[in-house]
Amino acid sequence: MPDSALAKRRPPPGGRLAVVADERLSALRANPELSAKLLRRLGRGSLVAIKGDKRGRDGIVFYKVNVTTRTGGWIQRDAVFAPSRAGDDARLLRLINASDSFDRVVRAKIFLDYFTGSELRPEALLMYALAAEDAVIHLSRDAARRLDEKEMNAGGAPMFSYFLNFNELDRYNRQGVTFVFDQRTKQFRYDGEGWQELVHRYPRSPQAAEARRRLDAASFRR
């Protein structure tokens, strides 16, 4: 599975690496208080370097973080997840499990990119692949509704190429999810890479048994 996030993002210096996965809580503030001045809001997948922590007057724990070499502040601890902190992998997995559709894909990809040594990785990979497979239904429906057959015929390009260029696929592609297009049924299909990884990297895990079943059912086995 492509580690695109690792390739594109360099962690800031000055502390322990952590990644934002709950953007609802990711306000970077001037002081460790919820009422403190907002400096900026960090997007999901943003990397920070943890320098310290402090409990605010209302009981919320904040991390003092560097965002870049020049930018720092305080962020609520619950917004970020540190691979080096015991229990943060389980905490992120709970968030993934409670997430829906594309949010589940993104948060699972964060887990797979940064919690590479976690024993919970097969569970995160299963959730990632299931979310990708579940997305097929609405993506196929949206493409069929928005792509006009007469316009495609007039354009002259192969019809399948219009579907595989459908713009709703873009955000999934950025998360490492690839879909193939069945020209007979005019439906998208998950390419099964997550299932393949489960079978090859974690063959004895309970999740691998589900992956084999999915691969057999979809005739993905290579």
How much is the pLDDT for 49?
Answer: 98
Neighbours of 73 (CB within 10 A): 23
List the Cα angle 134/135/139 in 5-degree steps.
140
Q: How do the domains of the chain map onto residue ranges?
A: 4-81, 103-218
Instruction: Name every residue whose Cβ is closer than 8 Å to that of residue 169 and which is 6 or more positions away in sequence.
Output: 139, 179, 188
pLDDT tens-digit profile, the chain (222 residues): 544 444 457 889 999 999 999 999 999 999 999 999 999 999 999 999 999 999 999 999 999 999 999 999 999 999 999 999 999 999 999 999 999 999 999 999 999 999 999 999 999 999 999 999 999 999 999 999 999 999 999 998 999 999 999 999 999 999 999 999 999 999 999 999 999 999 999 999 999 999 999 999 876 434
Whether the CB-CB separation of 135 and 202 falls below 8 Å is answered with no
| CATH superfamily, region 4-81 | SH3 Domains (2.30.30.40)
How much is the pLDDT for 3?
Answer: 45
